[in-house]
Homo-oligomer: A and B are copies of this chain.
Amino acid sequence: MAIRSATTNRQFRLAARPVGLPKSSDWSFVNEPVGAPREGELLVKLRYISLDPAMRGWMNEGRSYVRPVELGQVMRAAGVGEVIESRNEAFPTGAYVVGTFGVQEYAVSDGTAVYRVDPNLAPPPKFLSVLGLTGLTAYFGLLDIGRPEPGQTVVVSAACGAVGQIVGQIAKIKGCRAVGIAGGPEKCRYVVDELGFDAAVDYKREDVRDALRTHCPDRIDVYFDNVGGEILDTALTLLARHARIVLCGAISQYNETGPRHGPANYMALLVDRARMEGFLVFDFFSRYPEAIGDMAGWMAEGRLRSREDIVSGIETFPDALLRLFRGENFGKLMLEV
């Protein structure tokens, strides 16, 4: 009660549906009283808020895999924080929890889709990256949709992004050749030298098709796509027979205001008897423990690393989010509250 009366809760609410890149006037930054948990609820003080490309889609109207954020609502976001007051036995005061708490400093939750994490196992940011939905997305997308076999070639775009860096490392753990596509020499150097990818292609400086031909002499068995657009179209021209394209995202298209760019070379799927398939990590909910167990084990063995790109201050949210769409983040982007 002392906390609630002493402070206000700063929040970002959706003020307008963006056209193209979200701008500052699409948000309202408001102060609200910290909410009081009712029976069954808990009050969370957020520590880190996850910034994800998918947030751009949630701001649009129309059918998708989740309902859009309504105008005036607190912007949806995943986060990790500490329970500071609880009327829910599953989440006692002092526990660390992960949930969809929104872009705000404090959240009241009824516990739906909230889970506890052990802060002694890893620093809190890791629970939004490799040990969170990001890591789970990489794990199930690569292994269940991509189904790579030892010796095959896995290519991942946005290789230095939150999901991409995990995809390439799991590919290596599974005995594959891993080739990343990233923007700029620093990111390319990082995925090869620090994360152990076999090669990286700098899409800002290289001809992507020529570079992929060089680094994928047996063509591409699994292409894990985070970007869409021209890079997807290029990958389609280099598929191995029975290749799998894993559709995880299309960040190049999320802020397009004109017609969307469909993959003109999609008929390569026929020539190469290949498959393009989308997935959502939520469909694998029952298998999260298996995946987290695998990944925590690989981390402990030093075979799986992750880098987080942490921006301080909730007030930086509108600008920080744009870093995703400019390709400026280096690893998993999040706000420290």
Complex CA distance for A280 and B268, rounded to whole angstroms: 12
| Chain B residues within 8 Å of A280, by CB | 270, 273
| Residue A297 is within 8 A (CB to CB) of chain B in the complex | no
Asked if residues A266 and B267 are in contact (CB atoms below 8 Å), the reply is no
Determine which of B63, B262, B277 lies in contact with A263 in the assembled complex, contact meaning CB atoms within 8 Å. B262
Complex CA distance for A283 and B273, rounded to whole angstroms: 9
Residues of chain A from 253 to 300 with CB closer than 8 A to chain B in the complex: 253, 259-280, 283
| Chain B residues within 8 Å of A249, by CB | 270
| Residue A233 is within 8 A (CB to CB) of chain B in the complex | yes
Asked if residues A228 and B267 are in contact (CB atoms below 8 Å), the reply is yes
Asked if residues A261 and B264 are in contact (CB atoms below 8 Å), the reply is yes
What copy number does this chain have within its complex?
Answer: 2
Asked if residues B283 and A278 are in contact (CB atoms below 8 Å), the reply is no
| Residue A250 is within 8 A (CB to CB) of chain B in the complex | yes
The number of chain A residues with a CB under 8 A from chain B is: 33
Asked if residues A276 and B275 are in contact (CB atoms below 8 Å), the reply is yes
Complex CA distance for A250 and B271, rounded to whole angstroms: 12
Within the complex, what minimum Cβ distance (angstroms) separates A178 from chain B? 22
Complex CA distance for A266 and B266, rounded to whole angstroms: 10
Q: Is the interface of A mostly helix, strand, loop or mixed?
A: loop
Complex CA distance for A273 and B266, rounded to whole angstroms: 18
**Given that A276-B277, A277-B276 are known contacts, is A63 also in contact with B271, CB under 8 Å in the complex?**
yes
Complex CA distance for A22 and B308, rounded to whole angstroms: 56
| Residue A176 is within 8 A (CB to CB) of chain B in the complex | no
| Residue A112 is within 8 A (CB to CB) of chain B in the complex | no
Asked if residues A274 and B264 are in contact (CB atoms below 8 Å), the reply is no
| Chain B residues within 8 Å of A278, by CB | 267-275
Complex CA distance for A213 and B269, rounded to whole angstroms: 27
Minimal Cβ-Cβ distance residue in B for A275 = B277
Complex CA distance for A264 and B265, rounded to whole angstroms: 12
Complex CA distance for A272 and B280, rounded to whole angstroms: 9
Within the complex, what minimum Cβ distance (angstroms) separates A233 from chain B? 7
| Residue A5 is within 8 A (CB to CB) of chain B in the complex | no
Minimal Cβ-Cβ distance residue in B for A272 = B278
Asked if residues A262 and B277 are in contact (CB atoms below 8 Å), the reply is no
Most-contacted residue by chain B among A64, A233, A271, A283 (CB, 10 A): A271
Determine which of B247, B260, B270 lies in contact with A269 in the assembled complex, contact meaning CB atoms within 8 Å. B247
**Given that A262-B261, A262-B262 are known contacts, is A277 also in contact with B267, CB under 8 Å in the complex?**
no
Within the complex, what minimum Cβ distance (angstroms) separates A266 from chain B? 6
Asked if residues B271 and A260 are in contact (CB atoms below 8 Å), the reply is no
Residues of chain A from 58 to 114 with CB closer than 8 A to chain B in the complex: 63-65
Most-contacted residue by chain B among A260, A267, A283 (CB, 10 A): A267
Within the complex, what minimum Cβ distance (angstroms) separates A152 from chain B? 18
> Could you list some 10 contacts between A and B, CB below 8 A?
A64-B271, A65-B271, A233-B262, A250-B267, A263-B266, A267-B278, A268-B278, A270-B279, A273-B279, A274-B277
Further pairs besides A248-B270, A270-B279: 12, Cβ < 8 Å: A233-B262, A249-B270, A250-B267, A260-B265, A261-B264, A262-B266, A266-B266, A268-B278, A269-B278, A273-B279, A274-B277, A275-B275
